[in-house]
Amino acid sequence: MDNAAIDHIINKYQGQARFLIQILMEIQEENRWLPREVLKTVSEKLDVSFRQVMRIATMYKTFSLVPKGHNEIHICMGNACHVRGAERLLKEVQELTGIKPGETDSDGKFSLEIGCCRGNCCSGPVMEIGGKTQDKMSPAEALKNYE
Amino acid sequence: MSKILIKIDGREFEASEGMTILQAAKEVGVEIPTLCYYEKLEPYGGCRLCTVEAEIRGRSKLVAACLYPVEKDLIVRTRTEKVDQIRKMLLELMLAHAPASRDLQAYAEEYGADKNRFQKESSFCIHCGLCVRYCAEIKKKEVITFVDRGTNREISFIPEIASQECENCKECFPLCPTEALQAAYVLTQALSFPSLQSVTE
Ligand code: SF4
Ligand code: FES
């Protein structure tokens, strides 16, 4: 991500420090992760200490300090999904992609996250890829659509 | 400034407005245990070891003495059974993280806390925030920060700044009630800016 793109986002919020979280969210959205250099630039431009920026960036799950894959896989581990076999689903997805929760594969295609309730308990165990629920198909089929 | 009449463990005291219970207690010679409190820093209320019972208009509640401002007709009890129980539990929980801490052990003796009550989970840091706050508030260097959250929360040096500032300061080291801070520093240094000396030694 270049400085112009960061500037553009920061300018949208008139460089106000109180919009730190929104700014980081937009950068995360665009860049899919927050490189250290970018965080430093943000810290300088907003005049917020780097320590404070780091604290925020590590606090929220939305932010990633390592590169994320193009397609983010979310597997729900909530109660309903757990009962309906989330563990098995997770294991299968791990085998298919070769990554564990929190990791990204080497070609940056997929990253895997687990979480709780995606608000779709009746079709559990729920797997989402890029925010879309993968319904009525095997994990292998679902992943193939995003290869 | 107006005076406020309060009572701490039966002793009457004329406190001035804006004082905390902890400050008032010090004046009357009542000792309240603290871990995250340091008079040069803003009160933090992190450890809750200073918990006392405060009675106002006949109602009693548990408050953190280092934060709670005195008010009219306040009655404070610093060593009730309930308070002692809370302190004991807090100490036992913290001892699971930092069993070797001298400060904790001294308090543990006083409150009968058993350091083996909970399974050891040696993270060493008890999150008192003294190091983080000292660096930010007094030194204005902001080298140390808390990162992550919940059970994964930990202190972290920012190596780029630490390599410039820490060698000649280290004023936060004696503040740490455990030795987590020193350990974190040595680790940061070894990973990010090893001095020639420590390489050759
Ligand atoms: S490292 Fe020490 S001083 Fe810093 S927060 Fe942890 S226990 Fe407190
Ligand atoms: S000294 Fe009051 S909460 Fe730590």
- B156: domain CATH number is 3.30.70
Q: Which of B136, B145, B149 sits opposite A54 (nearest CB)?
A: B145
3-state secondary structure of A129: strand
Q: Quick check: B66 and B34 in contact, CB under 8 A?
A: yes
Chain B partners within 8 Å of A50 (Cβ): 142, 158, 160-161
- Residue B125 in domain: no
User: Which protein residues are within 6 Å of ligand 2, measured from CB?
Assistant: B 34-37, 45-50, 64, 66
8 Å CB contact between A5 and A30: yes
CATH 3.40.30.10 region(s) of chain A?
Answer: 71-144
Domains contained in chain B, number = 2
Of B44, B62, B79, which one is at a domain's C-terminal end? B79
Three-state SS for B116? coil
Contact criterion met (CB below 8 Å) for B127 and B168: no
Task: Note if the bond before A125 is cis, omega within 30 degrees.
Answer: yes
- What are residue B162's phi and psi, to 5 degrees? -55, -40
Query: Is residue B134 a part of any domain in this protein?
Result: yes
Higher confidence at residue A140 or residue B110? Answer: B110
Residue in A closest to B155 by C-alpha: A55
What does the pLDDT read at residue B1?
A: 62
Q: Residue-wise over A3-36: b if at least 16 C-beta within 10 A, else e?
A: eeebeebbeeeeeeeebbeebbbbbbeebbbbee
Range of the domain at B174: 130-200
Asked, for residue B106, whether it belongs to a domain, the answer is: no
3-state helix, strand, coil in chain A (%, to 5): 50, 10, 40
Query: Measured between alpha carbons, how far is B144 from B1 in angstroms, rounded to an integer?
Result: 38
Q: Which of B60, B79, B98 is the last residue of a domain?
A: B79
Ligand 1 contact via B130 beta carbon (within 6 Å)? yes
Candidates 3.30.2040.10, 3.40.50.300, 2.60.40.790, 3.40.30.10; CATH matching A71-144: 3.40.30.10
As a whole number of angstroms, the distance between CA A81 and CA A86 comes to: 5
Q: Tell me the pTM.
A: 0.83
Owner of token pair 């219970």: B21
pLDDT tens, position by position, B79-127: 999 999 999 999 999 999 999 999 999 999 999 999 999 999 888 999 9
Residue whose CA lies nearest to ligand 1 atom number 6 = B125
Q: Could you report the per-residue pLDDT of B16-58, keeping only the tens digit for each? A: 999 999 999 999 999 999 999 999 999 999 999 999 999 999 9
The two tokens of residue B53 are 């019972």
Domain boundary at B44, B79, B114, which?
A: B79
- The answer on B136 and B70 residing in a single domain is no
pLDDT tens-place string over residues A31-90: 989 999 999 999 999 999 999 999 999 999 889 998 888 899 999 999 999 999 999 999
Q: What's the CA-to-centroid distance between B51 and ligand 2, angstroms?
A: 7
Give the pairing of strands A132-133 and B11-16: unpaired
What is the CATH number for B30? 3.10.20.740
